[in-house]
C-alpha cells in the first residue's frame, strides 16, 4: 500500500456509495426478481453505510475500521 493512501477518503467513497444505492432507480423487473433487487439494494446500503460511518486508523501498517454498532440512545 502506498504512503499516499488516505483512509478517510476511502470512508468518504463508501458514504457516496451508500447515497448512490438510495438514489438507484428500480429497473423494470417484477415478482421475485424485483424482491431480490430490493433486498440486494438494502444489503448494499447497509454495508456501505456501516463502512461510511467507520472511524479509520492505520497502526503499524494495519488499517483498522472501528464501527459502533450500539443502538442510539434516544433518551439523550
Q: What pLDDT, in 10s, does the model give residues 17-72?
A: 999 999 999 888 889 999 999 999 999 999 999 999 999 999 999 999 999 998 88
Does residue 13 belong to any structural domain of this protein? Answer: yes
Does residue 71 belong to any structural domain of this protein? Answer: no
Number of domains in the chain: 1
Does residue 57 belong to any structural domain of this protein? Answer: yes
> What confidence score (pLDDT) does residue 3 get?
67
Question: Is the CB of residue 48 less than 8 Å from the CB of residue 17?
Answer: yes
> What confidence score (pLDDT) does residue 67 get?
95
pLDDT band at 74 (very low <50, low <70, confident <90, very high): confident
Does residue 48 belong to any structural domain of this protein? Answer: yes
> What confidence score (pLDDT) does residue 73 get?
81
Does residue 75 belong to any structural domain of this protein? Answer: no
Domain of residue 56 covers 7-66
Q: How far is CA 25 from CA 17, 18, 31, 37, 38, in A?
A: 14, 14, 17, 11, 11
Does residue 2 belong to any structural domain of this protein? Answer: no
Beta-strand ranges (E) seen in 3-70 are 55-59, 62-66
Amino acid at each position: 500500500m502506498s504512503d499516499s493512501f488516505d483512509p478517510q477518503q476511502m470512508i468518504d467513497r463508501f458514504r457516496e456509495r451508500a447515497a448512490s444505492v438510495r438514489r438507484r432507480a428500480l429497473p423494470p423487473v417484477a415478482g421475485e426478481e424485483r424482491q431480490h433487487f430490493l433486498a440486494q439494494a438494502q444489503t448494499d446500503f447497509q454495508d456501505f453505510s456501516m463502512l461510511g460511518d467507520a472511524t479509520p486508523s492505520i497502526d503499524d501498517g494495519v488499517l483498522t475500521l472501528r464501527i459502533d454498532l450500539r443502538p442510539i440512545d434516544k433518551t439523550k
